[in-house]
Amino acid sequence: MPNFLVKLIGLLLIVATVGVVSCQALAAPGPDVAAAPSALPAPRG
């Protein structure tokens, strides 16, 4: 296999793993806001 093709496959693998995983980490949802304790007091009765 020519050296150029080997390098191209390597670069594609790097972009497809490191690049995609990094973008997914950025797009992943943050902490669950609903689970955070509310500052409002609970209604009585």
Partner 1 sequence: MTRFFWLVSAGLLLALPLVLLLRRRLVIVAERYKHLARPFSPMAGLLMFWLPLPVLLAAIGSLIDGDLMGLFNNGVGYSLFLGGAMLLRRGLRSEADYSRRQVAKTPWPFKALGGGLIGLATGMVAWTSAGHSPIMSIIFGSLALLGCYLTYGFDPRTAKRFTDRDGIDSTDRVLHALTQAENSIAAIEQAIRNIHNAEVNSRLRRIVGQARQILTMLEEDPRDLRRARKFLNVYLDGAKQVTEGYARTHGRAQTPELENNFRQVLATIEQVFGEQQQKLLEADVTDLDVQIEVLNTQLKREGVA
Question: Is residue 26 involved in binding partner 1 (CB under 8 A)?
Answer: yes
Q: How far is the CB of 22 from partner 1 (least distance, A)?
A: 4
Contact between 34 and partner 1 per CB under 8 A? no
Nearer to partner 1, 31 or 45 (CB): 31
**How far from 39 is each of 32, 36, 42, 44, CA to CA, in Å?**
16, 9, 9, 15
Using the 8-state DSSP alphabet, how is residue 16 labeled? I
Under the rule (CB under 8 A), what is the footprint of partner 1? 4, 6-28, 30-31
